[in-house]
C-alpha cells in the first residue's frame, strides 16, 4: 500500500513538473471553443452536416496525443526541448520555495479560455425559451431582415440580395405573432449601402443595427450556386447573445425557381417562429416540442382544440382538430386527439376511422411519431399491455414528456394495476414541479385520485383532488371524486358542501339540465356506497328525460352490477336494444345480468357480442367473459 502511494505521488509530481496539467487545462477549453466555431460556421458556409462530427473526432483523438507530447517535450524560451528526467532536472531557484507564486503567461491564457467557454456555455445551460428575450412587451417577436449575401460570384444575383430581403419582410409581416421592421427602415440604418457584404459585418455593427431598429431577432442569409443548382441559406440570430438559434436551407434547380424558393423559405421561417412563440406563450409546457407540425395555422387550431378537449367541450374540440388536419394533413397529434374526442363524445365509429386514417400515414414518419400512432392503434386494436410497450419506448426517447406518462398511467389504470398507474401519473407532477407549473389536464387529477381511492390512500387522494380543484375549479369530475372521497371517510358535512358547489357549477356555469345533474349525483352516491340515494337520483333523471336512453343505460347497469334489481336492469337494456340491437353497452349489461341469474350460455353469447362491438379494450368486459367461461367449464 505504501509503495502504491509513493508511485502515485511520483506520477502526480511528474505530471505537474512536465506541465501536463497546464496543457490539459488549456486544451479542453480551446477544444470546446473550436467545436463551437465549427458548429456556427458549418451552416453559414453550407458545409456538410458531418463536418461537426469530423471535428469532434479530431479533437478527441488529439487529446491523448497532446498529453503524450506534453510529457515528452516542454516549451521554453529557447524553444521546444525534450523534458529531462527528474534526476537531470535543474534545481528550483531558492526564491520559488515558499512565498507567493508568480503569475505565468499560461495562467492568463487559461483564464481567458475559461471566460470564453463560460460566455459560450451560459446560454446553452440556462436558456429555456429561445424567444424569451426576443419579444416585445405585447408578446410579439421583433425581427429585422438584412439583405442576403451573394456568394455566387455572379453579379446578376446582386439584385436578389434585396429581393429576398423584401420578399421575406412582406411574408413575415402578415403574421400576427411577429413585428417585422420595414424594408426602408432597415436600409436607412444600413446607410443605403449597395452590394453590402453581410459576412463582413462585425458583431458590434449588427448590434448597432439591432439597437436602432429595436429588433431582438435578426435574419441573415446568403445565396449560393453550383452548376445549375441554387441554394438559399438563412439564419435566425439572437442580437443580444449573437447566437444562431435556427438555420434554414432551400434548394432549386434554376434561376426560375428563385421566387418559389423565396416563398418556401419565408413560409418555413414564419411557421417556425410562430409555432415557437405560441408554444412558449402557452401555459402548458407539455405542449412544447410536441406539436409535430410545420404549419403554424394547424398548430393554432390544435391549441384551441386542446383547450376545448381538456374542459370536456368535445364537439368544439372535434371541430378544431378537424381544422388542424385540414391545415396540415400529416399532423399526427391532431389525429390522435380527434380520435379520443370522438370516442369520448360517443362517436365510436368515427373514433376508429380517424385512428385508422392516421395509422395509414405511419410509414416515412420519424420514430417518435410512428410510436405515437402505434400506441393509438394498440388502444383500439390490442390490449393495454401493447400500449405500455410503445409508451415505454416513447419515454426512452423523451423522459420529460408528461403526455406519455399520462397515457402510460391510463394504460395501467385500465388493467386495474393502480400502483403502476399512480407511479406513472406522479411522474407528471414531478416534471411540472421542476418547471414550476401546474399540469393543465383535468383528467389525470380525478383518475389519480380514484387510483389512490382504490388502494385506500385517502390522504393523498384528497391532496391530489384538492390540487385539481384549485387548477380547474369548474371541472365537475374532480368534484365528483372529492365528494366520493369525503363520503368514504365519513365526512358527510364536507361532502354535502362539495355537492352544493357541484350543483351550482353545473347549473350556473355549465348550464346542465336537471337530468344531467341527477345522473351525476347518482354516480357520486353509488361510488360512495349509498345505494338508496343513488337509485333515487337515477330514477329522477329518467323521469325528467324519459326519451334520453343514456340515462336508461346508466341506470340499467347500476341495477345489475350492484345486484339491486337485476330483472329490471335487463328489461331496461331490452328497451334500448329494441331500437338499437347492436348497442354494445346494453348487450354487455344484459349479458352480465343473465350471468347473475344463472343463464350462463345466453350470458356468454351476449358478452362476446358486446366485446366484438366495443371500440376499445375493456378489462371489466374481459374479466366478465373469463368468469362466465370458467363457470360453464365447471358445470
pLDDT tens digit sequence for 381-430: 999 999 999 999 999 988 888 889 999 999 999 999 999 999 999 999 99
Distance CA 372, CA 398 (A): 12
Per residue in 485-531, pLDDT (tens digit) is 999 999 999 999 999 999 999 999 988 999 999 999 999 999 999 99
Of 576, 590, 595, 588, nearest to 620 (Cα)?
A: 588
pLDDT of residue 537: 97
Report the range of poorest mean pLDDT among 180-184, 282-286, 541-545, 572-576.
282-286
Full residue range of the structural domain in which residue 625 is found: 548-635
Domain annotation covers residue 352: no
pLDDT of residue 529: 94
Does pLDDT of 578 surpass 80? yes
Of 224, 246, 280, the residue at which a domain comes to its end is: 280
Alpha-helical runs (H) found in 436-579: 442-454, 458-471, 476-488, 492-504, 514-527, 531-544, 549-561, 566-579
Mean of per-residue pLDDT scores for the chain? 82
Tell me, yes or no, whether 35 and 63 share the same domain: yes
Tell me, yes or no, whether 572 and 531 share the same domain: no
If pLDDT is split at 50, 70 and 90, which confidence band does 99 have? Answer: very low
pLDDT of residue 551: 96
pLDDT of residue 268: 83
Tell me, yes or no, whether 501 and 586 share the same domain: no
Tell me, yes or no, whether 581 and 522 share the same domain: no
pLDDT of residue 313: 84
Stretch 85-95: mean pLDDT, rounded?
Answer: 50
Tell me, yes or no, whether 446 and 543 share the same domain: yes
Domain annotation covers residue 160: yes
Does pLDDT of 196 surpass 70? no
If pLDDT is split at 50, 70 and 90, which confidence band does 440 have? Answer: confident
If pLDDT is split at 50, 70 and 90, which confidence band does 346 have? Answer: confident
Grid cell 414564419 is found at 270
Domain annotation covers residue 23: yes
Domain annotation covers residue 428: no
If pLDDT is split at 50, 70 and 90, which confidence band does 286 have? Answer: very low
Domain annotation covers residue 378: no
Of 218, 252, 280, the residue at which a domain comes to its end is: 280
CATH number for position 561: 1.25.40.10
Tell me, yes or no, whether 572 and 605 share the same domain: yes
Per residue in 22-73, pLDDT (tens digit) is 777 777 777 777 877 777 666 555 566 567 678 788 878 887 877 777 667 6
Asked if 66 and 23 count as a contact pair (C-beta separation under 8 A), the reply is yes
Tell me, yes or no, whether 476 and 533 share the same domain: yes
pLDDT of residue 607: 97
Tell me, yes or no, whether 46 and 122 share the same domain: yes
Q: Give the number of other Cβ atoms within 10 Å of residue 515's Cβ.
A: 19
Structural domain count of the chain: 4
Stretch 353-379: mean pLDDT, rounded?
Answer: 89
Of 518, 547, 576, the residue at which a domain comes to its end is: 547
Per residue in 112-137, pLDDT (tens digit) is 656 665 655 555 544 444 444 444 54
pLDDT of residue 214: 78
Domain annotation covers residue 174: yes
Tell me, yes or no, whether 85 and 149 share the same domain: no
pLDDT of residue 285: 46
Tell me, yes or no, whether 517 and 557 share the same domain: no
Domain annotation covers residue 311: no
CATH number for position 236: 3.40.50.10610
Tell me, yes or no, whether 274 and 236 share the same domain: yes
Domain annotation covers residue 323: no
Does pLDDT of 17 surpass 90? no
Q: In this structure, are strands 149-150 and 178-180 parallel, antiparallel, or unpaired?
A: unpaired
pLDDT of residue 425: 96
Tell me, yes or no, whether 218 and 120 share the same domain: no
Q: Give the number of other Cβ atoms within 10 Å of residue 89's Cβ.
A: 11
Amino acid at each position: 500500500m505504501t509503495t502504491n502511494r509513493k508511485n502515485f505521488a511520483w506520477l502526480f509530481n511528474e505530471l505537474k513538473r512536465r506541465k501536463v496539467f497546464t496543457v490539459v487545462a488549456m486544451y479542453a477549453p480551446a477544444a470546446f471553443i473550436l467545436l463551437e466555431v465549427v458548429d456556427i460556421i458549418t451552416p453559414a458556409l453550407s458545409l456538410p452536416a458531418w463536418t461537426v462530427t469530423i471535428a469532434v473526432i479530431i479533437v478527441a483523438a488529439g487529446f491523448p496525443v497532446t498529453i503524450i507530447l506534453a510529457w515528452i517535450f516542454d516549451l521554453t524560451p529557447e524553444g521546444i526541448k525534450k523534458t529531462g528526467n527528474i534526476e537531470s532536472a535543474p534545481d528550483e531557484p531558492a526564491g520559488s520555495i515558499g512565498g507567493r507564486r508568480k503569475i505565468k503567461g499560461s495562467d492568463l491564457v487559461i483564464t481567458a479560455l475559461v471566460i470564453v467557454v463560460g460566455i459560450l456555455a451560459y446560454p446553452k445551460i440556462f436558456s429555456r425559451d429561445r424567444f424569451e428575450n426576443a419579444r416585445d412587451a405585447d408578446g410579439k417577436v421583433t425581427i429585422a431582415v438584412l439583405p442576403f449575401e451573394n456568394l455566387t460570384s455572379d453579379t446578376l444575383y446582386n439584385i436578389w440580395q434585396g429581393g429576398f430581403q423584401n420578399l421575406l419582410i412582406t411574408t413575415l409581416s402578415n403574421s400576427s405573432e411577429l413585428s417585422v421592421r420595414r424594408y426602408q427602415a432597415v436600409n436607412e440604418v444600413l446607410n443605403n449601402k449597395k452590394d453590402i457584404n453581410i459576412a463582413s459585418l462585425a458583431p458590434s455593427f449588427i448590434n448597432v443595427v439591432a439597437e436602432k431598429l429595436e429588433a431582438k431577432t435578426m435574419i441573415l442569409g446568403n445565396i449560393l450556386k453550383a452548376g445549375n443548382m441554387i441554394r438559399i441559406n438563412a439564419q435566425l440570430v439572437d442580437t443580444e447573445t449573437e447566437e444562431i438559434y435556427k438555420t434554414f436551407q432551400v434548394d432549386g434547380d434554376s434561376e426560375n425557381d428563385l421566387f418559389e424558393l423565396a416563398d418556401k423559405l419565408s413560409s418555413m421561417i414564419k411557421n417556425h417562429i410562430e409555432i415557437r412563440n405560441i408554444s412558449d406563450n402557452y401555459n402548458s409546457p407539455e405542449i412544447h416540442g410536441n406539436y409535430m407540425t410545420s404549419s403554424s395555422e394547424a398548430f393554432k387550431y390544435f391549441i384551441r382544440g386542446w383547450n376545448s378537449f381538456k374542459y370536456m367541450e368535445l364537439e368544439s374540440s372535434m371541430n378544431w382538430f378537424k381544422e388542424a388536419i385540414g391545415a396540415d394533413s400529416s399532423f399526427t397529434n391532431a389525429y390522435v386527439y380527434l380520435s379520443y374526442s370522438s370516442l369520448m363524445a360517443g362517436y365510436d365509429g368515427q373514433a376508429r376511422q380517424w385512428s385508422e386514417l392516421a395509422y395509414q400515414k405511419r410509414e416515412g414518419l420519424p420514430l417518435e411519431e410512428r410510436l405515437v400512432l402505434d400506441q393509438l392503434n394498440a388502444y383500439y386494436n390490442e390490449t393495454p399491455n401493447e400500449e405500455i410497450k410503445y409508451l415505454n419506448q416513447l419515454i426512452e426517447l423523451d423522459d420529460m414528456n408528461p403526455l406519455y406518462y399520462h397515457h402510460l398511467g391510463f394504460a395501467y389504470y385500465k388493467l386495474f394495476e393502480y400502483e403502476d398507474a399512480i407511479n406513472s401519473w406522479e411522474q407528471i407532477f414531478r416534471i411540472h414541479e421542476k418547471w414550476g407549473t401546474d399540469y393543465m389536464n383535468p383528467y389525470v387529477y380525478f383518475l389519480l385520485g380514484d387510483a389512490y381511492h382504490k388502494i385506500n390512500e385517502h390522504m393523498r387522494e384528497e391532496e391530489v383532488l384538492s390540487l385539481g380543484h384549485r387548477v380547474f375549479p369548474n371541472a365537475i369530475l374532480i368534484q365528483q371524486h372529492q365528494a366520493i372521497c369525503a363520503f368514504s371517510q365519513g365526512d358527510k358535512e364536507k361532502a354535502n358542501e362539495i355537492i352544493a358547489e357541484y350543483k351550482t357549477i353545473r347549473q350556473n356555469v355549465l348550464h346542465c339540465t336537471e337530468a344531467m345533474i341527477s345522473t351525476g349525483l347518482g354516480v357520486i352516491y353509488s361510488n360512495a356506497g349509498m345505494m338508496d340515494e343513488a337509485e333515487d337520483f337515477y330514477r329522477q333523471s329518467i323521469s325528467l328525460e324519459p326519451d334520453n336512453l343514456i340515462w336508461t343505460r346508466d341506470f340499467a347497469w347500476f341495477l345489475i352490477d350492484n345486484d339491486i334489481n337485476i330483472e329490471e336492469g335487463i328489461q331496461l337494456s331490452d328497451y334500448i336494444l329494441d331500437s338499437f340491437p347492436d348497442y354494445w353497452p346494453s348487450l354487455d349489461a344484459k349479458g352480465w345480468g343473465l350471468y347473475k341469474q344463472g343463464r350462463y350460455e345466453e350470458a356468454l353469447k351476449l358478452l362476446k357480442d358486446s366485446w366484438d362491438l366495443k371500440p376499445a379494450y375493456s378489462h371489466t368486459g374481459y374479466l366478465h367473459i373469463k368468469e362466465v367461461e370458467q363457470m360453464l367449464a365447471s358445470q
